[in-house]
Amino acid sequence: MAKNLTQKIIENHLISGEMVVGQEIALKMDQTLTQDATGTMAYLQFEAIGVDRVKTERSVAYADHNTLQTGFENADDHKYIQTVAKKNGIYYSKPGNGICHQVQLERFAKPGKTLIGSDSHTPTAGGIGALAIGSGGLDVAVAMAGGPYYITMPEVVNVHLTGMLKNYVSAKDVILEVLRVLSVKGGVGKVMEYTGEGVETLSVPERATITNMGAELGATTSIFPSDEITKKFLKAQGRENDYVELKADADATYDKIVEINLSELEPLAAMPHMPDNVKKISEIGPIKVDQVAIGSCTNSSYRDLMRVAKILKGKTVSEDVSLVIAPGSKQLLNMLAKNGALADIIDSGARVLEAACGPCIGMGQSPKSNAVSLRTFNRNFFGRSGTASAEVYLVSPETAAMSAIRGVLTDPSEIDVDLTIEEPEVFDINDNLIVLPATEGEEIEVVRGPNIKPFPQNKPLTEKVTGEVLLKMEDNITTDHIMPSNAKLLPFRSNIPHLSDYCLAPVDPEFPKRAKEKNGGFLIAGQNYGQGSSREHAALVPLYLGIKGVIAKSFARIHAANLINSGILPLTFVDETDYDSIDLGDEIIIENAVKQIEAGNILTVKNATKNVTFKVELTVSERLKKVLIAGGLLNYTKQNA
């Protein structure tokens, strides 16, 4: 039977289940990655499982998020991660080595391999032909311990590319077009598989830009075939032996087909405050720009920054614009320094940041009040930049650079510069910021700073679950709303008690206090609750606050999984009109909760305040029911060790 590429890789890693859309399957994970904002918690969880050493082919811990060391907290976390990694067989990428997804693409990702990462943009590695999936830290901990990763067998969407991009149109415009067509919910439960003659015109970094922002579709992952372009990239990285040709069978079938003609695309921008709010730049017009930020795991490759350098060469950034540029890795920063491109960038008046996530995750460079900020990043959620009044647009590096010079949003086709960039035949390879794991048996002391607190653990589910409605929310509540991420809070990712004072504060500043006074309760939400970053803390902090369940119209995939891992019930309304009848302070009761869950997927919930009952659905497998009844994945894993 003919198979698409996704089916081939899944079949090769299938531990249990059948490849039937909608059914739960278990996959063997070849590789894992963590970053420092999620890594401390993931490794605390790994230690709690009680396995001495990772069981994967390659696990890597990156320090790329919390690199502003304004106090001891970040440095302490980095030391903990470095020592626990060395002890347990994990490679450690030190601060300054680069963004996890960029470095993973350069040095570790392999075609045909599975990768799970505690960061929602792990699918970046799909650009090299890996089946790479973002998840919560506990899922990564279980995978490192040798356990399978469970997902629902996804639909596979064929994004069929034809034609070739015009000069000044980039891979960023491709994924913005896909977002325009499908929306931020259009990829839920799906893998986006790219095929067609247009694929051959895209380099691996361009493909990685597209798979990176597949996360904004809500997709399980995105993937490109592994072909001669892939082989050339791996050879240039000194990894030609990692190459294997991978593609769909000629007569493979898909659940849906999306046609994109690259030749017809124009420069696009995602307008505030959602990645799918996409329009042509020619339609938006020359709005005044205050800040331009180039970088992130989406657009900080050698190709991206070389094109930026060409545009900036001999020009000066507008006096009214602050331009900041963050390279994706030490490798490409070295190359830009050696070939003179870095000098062209600096000469223009741009500020060069270190090779890290930086402003993409709110770690510095917040724009001024009421600013228009153009960013080559992947998300423009309200307040994510650190300035609530800012208007953030997502654009390509070409658009960003040209707009920085002009001082207004500029269609990059207006400037005549040859942007042809040849991919290097040999990249500048120097892995001296990657710390190798210790040999087995070597004594390593794990160093724990005072900011590292125990993570919350749930108790087994009781037959009667009761609590007040502590907050009622609208559609598209993101993990940035649930657990804000900024320079102030990121250093406390290993300190759940401290973070609890800020949980859901962007929605209601009184929520943390109310949750503590009421000893927990329920949350009510609209569509797509929990979209955005993997951010396991968006489940761990509500667990600490005593949240027993979230009743929503729908959930984002990773957040629903994180809630389950924490033992919090992710329930959806059977009749969405019941959402309208629930108010803040209503008492919610689920009688015979364990028996109801064991009996089926439809539960009866009572609103005791209104003296009415309504139906909710718990869309989980039989295994996940046991996880919830056990009080979360860690409890379940220990029980079944």
Identity of the residue numbered 599: A
Q: What is the DSSP string of 540-583?
A: HHHHHTTEEEEEES-B-HHHHHHHHHTT-EEEEESSGGGGGG--
Question: What is the pLDDT, as a whole number, of residue 641?
Answer: 66
Q: What is the CATH number of domain 5-264?
A: 3.30.499.10
- The token duo for 197 is 């003659």
Token code pair at residue 523: 């949350």
Break the chain into its structural domains and give their ranges. Answer: 5-264, 268-414, 465-639
Closest CA to 327 of 291, 357, 349, 365: 357
* Percent of residues, the chain, with pLDDT higher than 70: 100
Q: What is the mean pLDDT of residues 67-71?
A: 83
Q: Is the pLDDT of residue 550 over 70?
A: yes
What pLDDT is attached to residue 364?
81
Element containing residue 256 per DSSP (H, E): strand 256-261
Catalytic residue positions, numbered: 64-65, 119, 379, 533, 535
**537 preceded by cis ω (within 30°)?**
no
Neighbours of 532 (CB within 10 A): 28
C-alpha span between 300 and 234 (Å, rounded): 18
The pLDDT tens digits of the residues spanning 396-435 come to 999 999 999 999 999 998 878 889 888 899 999 999 999 9
pLDDT of residue 534: 64
Per-residue DSSP letter, 439: P
Q: Are 5-264 and 268-414 equal in CATH topology?
A: yes
Q: In what order do the strands lie in the sheet with 24-27?
A: 14-16, 24-27, 149-152
Helix (H, G, I), strand (E, B) or coil at 281: helix
Segment 211-228 shows an average pLDDT of 96
- Alpha carbon separation from 294 to 384, 395, 452, 615 (Å, rounded): 16, 9, 33, 47
- Can you give the pLDDT at residue 405? 96
Q: Which one, of 613, 562, 622, 554, lies nearest residue 588 by Cα?
A: 613
Encode pLDDT of 19-62 as tens digits.
Answer: 999 999 999 999 999 999 888 989 999 998 888 899 999 999 99
At residue 160 the predicted structure's pLDDT band, cuts being 50, 70 and 90, is very high
Give the mean pLDDT of 267-293: 95
- Residue 599: Cβ within 10 Å count: 11
What's the CA angle centered on 537, arms 532 and 541, to 5 degrees? 125
Q: Which CATH class is domain 268-414?
A: alpha beta
Token pair, residue 226, equals: 């592994």
Can you give the three-state secondary structure of 189-247, one letter per residue? CEEEEEECHHHHHCCHHHHHHHHHHHHHHCECEEECCECHHHHHHHHHCCCHHHCCCEC
Please compute the mean of the pLDDT values over residues 475-495 and round it to a whole number: 85
Instruction: Taking residues 455-474, report their average pLDDT.
Output: 95
pLDDT band at 484 (very low <50, low <70, confident <90, very high): confident
| Residue 311, phi then psi, degrees to nearest 5 | -70, -40
The pLDDT of residue 200 is: 97
d(CA 400, CA 375): 7
pLDDT at 603 over 90: yes
| Mean pLDDT of the 312-335 span | 96
Instruction: Give the residue from 537, 543, 504 showing the smallest Cα distance to 520.
Output: 543
- Is 464 within 8 Å of 548 (Cβ atoms)? no
Q: Residue range 228-255: average pLDDT?
A: 97
Position 392 pLDDT exceeds 80:
yes
- As a whole number, mean pLDDT of residues 370-388 equals 89
Structure tokens at 22: 């909608």
Q: What is the mean pLDDT of the chain?
A: 94
pTM of the predicted structure, to 2 decimals: 0.89
**Model confidence at 305: pLDDT above 70:** yes
What mean pLDDT comes out for the span 335-339? Answer: 96
- pLDDT of res. 599: 94
Determine the average pLDDT of the residues in 265-281.
95
Q: Which amino acid is at 48?
A: A
The 10 Å CB-count burial string (b at 16+, else e) for 196-229 is bebbebbbbbbbbbbbbbbbbbbbbbbbbbbbeb
How would you list the strands of the sheet with 114-117, edge to edge? 131-134, 114-117, 31-35, 58-62, 91-93, 434-435
Question: What local confidence, expressed as pLDDT, does residue 273 receive?
Answer: 92
**Does the structure show a pLDDT above 80 at 166?**
yes
For residue 535, pLDDT over 80 is answered with no
Q: Are 18 and 470 in contact (CB under 8 A)?
A: no
Query: 91-136, pLDDT tens digit by residue?
Result: 999 999 999 999 999 999 999 999 999 999 999 999 999 999 999 8
**Contact predicate 110/128, CB 8 Å:** yes
- Domain made up of 465-639: CATH architecture: Alpha-Beta Barrel (3.20)
Position of tokens 């800020």? Answer: 502
What is the C-alpha end-to-end distance of the chain, expressed in Å? Answer: 37
